[in-house]
Amino acid sequence: MFQASLIVDRDYPLAPLDRRVFGVFVEHLGRCVYDGIHEPSHPTADALGFRGDVMALTRELGATLVRYPGGNFLSGYDWEDGVGPLVQRPRRLDLAWASTETNQVGTHEFMHWCRQVGAEPMFGVNLGTRGADEARRYLEYCNHPGGTALSERRRADGADAPFGIRLWCLGNEMDGPWQIGRKTPDEYGRLASETAKLMRWLDPSVELAACGSSAYDMPSYGVWEDRVLEHCFDEVDYLSLHSYFVKPPADSSTESFLAQIETNARYIEDTLAIADAVAARKRSRKRLMLSFDEWNVWYRARHGAHMRQPGWPEAPRLLEEVYTAEDALLIGGMLTMFMNHADRLKVACLAQLCNVIAPIMTEPGGPAWRQTIFHPFAQAARWARGEVLRPVIRSPGRLHPVHGELPHLCASVVDDPDTGRTAVFLLNRDLGEEMDLTLHLRGLGPARRLVLAEELHAADLHAANTLEAPDRVAPRDLVNLSIDGERLRARLKPASWNLIVTQANRT
């Protein structure tokens, strides 16, 4: 056993936590939409064909925001295909995923689903094959109250009131050679600027996210951000980041896998440095915020038939990653890192929601179940409310040849002054030893009671939840814990994710 400490103080807050960091992603890809969230023949399906069991799990997951409809799919999507009577909607070939798109789920259906699960939509506009005017038309269709051709078309299609979609992505991964309509940074920056201008003229209340690099290791990273923002800095609110976590054969150790928490922290900080440098050149006091709108573990289902299948199938089984206890540890650690950047990171979307690199899996006509990564996300989404406090962590660690010093403890603390509840999220990433943790909650009230204490731990890091064993990896009670005034002590198992919630006793 080794000792570690975590100190927070109410007088040293970082920032209020934007609850939109607990977003997810739904793309017309594989079985995410069809045979995923939407299966009209399923016993639990509602009148529009959406699975009730998946909606219940989405609510349990706590998704606050849903990015839609892509993804790579977005860059070849015509929004007009997804509105109007179902029988008149065209079948299209989707070049992004070599599939047939039926368009039986579109704007109206998706907005119905968002209302059912209680999530805010984050829509995207196609800047691959289309441009500024199509984006303007889509926004008018969705958000203008009435009296114009496009808004009256929406009303005729069944939505009398405007959808009021506030958050929009200006394209997707426009730097990627795999992307339909790939752009140079200057081409995209100019297009994003002009698109944003038209959208803001139409609806000044919208919030807009420009595409950053599609990965930290893209050869153009840095140059892309700088050139894009040179054009559209004044017109956008967010810059997007995307990151998928892998285990390269050259270094497939768990230690290196979990070190990606630090790698992505540097990704955030480097991107902010570039954005702030652009602000300095422009003599601007504006500080751009970040949208980490694609992130997850993805490396097993990333080749061959996992990516594309012949014959233009409908809803093929693509990117269906099976997650392990090890993956859940990384997801939990990433969530602590996101919360500890709450001053500038305002939006994040776990990619994706259902079947496709997803926390929820389904079988057609059968059950839905929680993958291992479901649990740390659901815990954070439920309990992380209020202000993030600056953590002072003292922990031994491991020296990694690439990533440097890696402390065994990753942690974040979120305090809600309205309820008196404080949520502490803890990852012990030492693989062999328990952690004797002392937690000091300074200024949060000397009299506290325990609300909840849970741990996620599996002796086998390769353990997974499956159709046959859906609850093999799940949170259990954390029992080795004591509270003495503002001090809390806990014993954390090796390779474990932990949640502790306390509440001030108010008189």
Domains with residue ranges and CATH for the chain? 2-10+388-504 (2.60.40.1180), 18-383 (3.20.20.80)
- pLDDT for 501 equals 97
Least confident of 80-84, 276-280, 483-487: 483-487
Q: Give the whole-number percent of the chain exceeding pLDDT 90.
A: 95
Question: How does pLDDT run across 191-220, given as a tens digit for each residue?
Answer: 999 999 999 999 999 999 999 999 999 999
Other C-beta atoms within 10 Å of 89: how many?
18
The confidence band for 103, taking pLDDT boundaries of 50, 70 and 90, is very high
d(CA 464, CA 469): 8
Position 447 scores a pLDDT of 73
Nearest to 141 by CA among 123, 130, 153, 129: 153
Band (pLDDT 50/70/90 cuts) for residue 485 is: confident
Structural tokens at position 108: 């109206």
**pLDDT tens digits for range 151-186:** 999 999 999 999 999 999 999 999 999 999 999 999
Catalytic residues: 173, 294
What is the arithmetic mean of pLDDT over 45-63? Answer: 98
pLDDT at 336: 98
What's the mean pLDDT when you consider all of the chain?
A: 97
Report residue 252's pLDDT band, with 50, 70 and 90 as the boundaries: confident
Please determine, for residue 249, whether its predicted confidence score (pLDDT) is greater than 90: no
- Bridge partners of 34, per DSSP, are 38
Report the pLDDT value the prediction gives residue 309, as an integer from 0 to 100: 97
Residue of 248 and 311 predicted with greater confidence: 311
pLDDT of 228 > 90? The answer is: yes
DSSP string covering 222-275, please?
Answer: THHHHHHHHHHTTT-SEEEEEEEE---GGG--HHHHHTHHHHHHHHHHHHHHHH
| Overall average pLDDT of the 14-43 stretch | 98
pLDDT recorded at residue 60: 98
Integer Cα distance of 193 and 230 in angstroms: 10
Rounded-to-integer distance, Cα 37 and Cα 50, Å = 6
pLDDT at 446 over 80: no
The region of weakest confidence among 50-64, 398-412, 470-484 is 398-412
Question: Strands 360-362, 368-370: parallel, antiparallel or unpaired by DSSP?
Answer: antiparallel
Query: What is the predicted pLDDT for the residue at 386?
Result: 98
Closest Cα partner for 426 from 455, 397, 451, 394? 455
Eight-state DSSP code of residue 321: P
pLDDT band at 250; cut points 50, 70, 90 = confident
Tokens at residue 314, please?
């409908």
pLDDT band at 251 (very low <50, low <70, confident <90, very high): confident
- For the whole prediction, is pTM greater than 0.75? yes
Taking 90 as the threshold, does the pLDDT of residue 466 lie above it? yes
Using pLDDT thresholds of 50, 70 and 90, give the confidence band for residue 421: very high
The confidence score (pLDDT) of residue 507 equals: 57
The pLDDT value given to residue 405: 86
Residues 368-372 have a mean pLDDT of 98
Neighbours of 113 (CB within 10 A): 26
